[in-house]
């Protein structure tokens, strides 16, 4: 399969308006499509860009297209992405930290510093900043986790500067 044929096959197998039936995945065309995606880096990047567009995700908010794709990959069978064998990378937005789930039944993961697909450096973790900020606001980051203001559960606290007037109630 060449790249042009791959892009046409995308509409059939993975396009936004398509719901593929499992029987369609056991065909020579699908196997050629899948093999091409694994072997052709430009087509894999194109595929991930198309998926992000369909998911309405801005890839510019991530270090590279691969991390954008994998950070936003969803599983319909597992509530926690750490439980899904198809989820290879998790992103903890409030720490701005990427990791590989350990699949030990808990929340642990191995923090990574570079994209496994292209080698691009990932941002420095903001975990320690997050802990210091919450402590300065009067929160215990472990004991008060359910009472932490919503802004500190997302990237808004470091992208928007947070709200220095928030205090534990």
What is the domain count for the chain?
Answer: 3
Q: Which domain holds residue 80?
A: 61-112
- 166 domain-assigned: no
pLDDT of residue 25: 77
**Within a domain: 118:** no
Question: In this structure, are 52 and 9 located in the same domain?
Answer: yes
C-alpha to C-alpha distance for 130 and 124, rounded to whole angstroms? 12
Whether 52 and 70 share a structural domain: no
36, 20: one domain? yes
pLDDT in tens, the chain (169 residues): 999 999 998 888 876 555 556 667 788 988 999 999 999 999 999 999 999 998 999 999 999 999 999 999 887 788 887 788 888 999 999 999 999 998 887 788 999 999 999 999 999 999 999 999 999 999 998 888 888 888 998 999 998 765 545 444 3
Does residue 49 contact residue 65 with C-beta atoms inside 8 Å? yes
In a domain, 65, yes or no: yes
Domain-embedded: residue 165: no
């Amino acid at each position: 399969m060449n790249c042009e044929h791959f892009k046409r096959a995308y509409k059939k197998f993975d396009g936004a308006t398509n719901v593929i039936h499992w029987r369609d995945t056991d065909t020579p065309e699908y196997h050629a499509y899948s093999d091409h995606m694994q072997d052709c880096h430009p087509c894999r990047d194109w595929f991930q860009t198309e998926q992000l567009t369909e998911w309405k995700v801005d890839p510019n908010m991530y270090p590279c297209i691969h991390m954008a794709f994998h950070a936003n990959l969803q599983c319909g069978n597992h509530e926690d992405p750490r439980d899904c064998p198809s989820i290879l990378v998790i992103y903890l937005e409030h720490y701005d930290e990427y990791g590989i789930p350990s699949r030990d039944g808990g929340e642990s993961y191995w923090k990574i510093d570079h994209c496994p697909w292209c080698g691009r450096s990932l941002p420095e973790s903001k975990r320690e900043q997050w802990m210091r900020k919450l402590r300065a606001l009067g929160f215990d980051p472990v004991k008060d986790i359910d009472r932490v203001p919503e802004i500190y559960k997302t990237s808004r606290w470091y992208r928007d500067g947070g709200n220095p007037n928030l205090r534990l109630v």
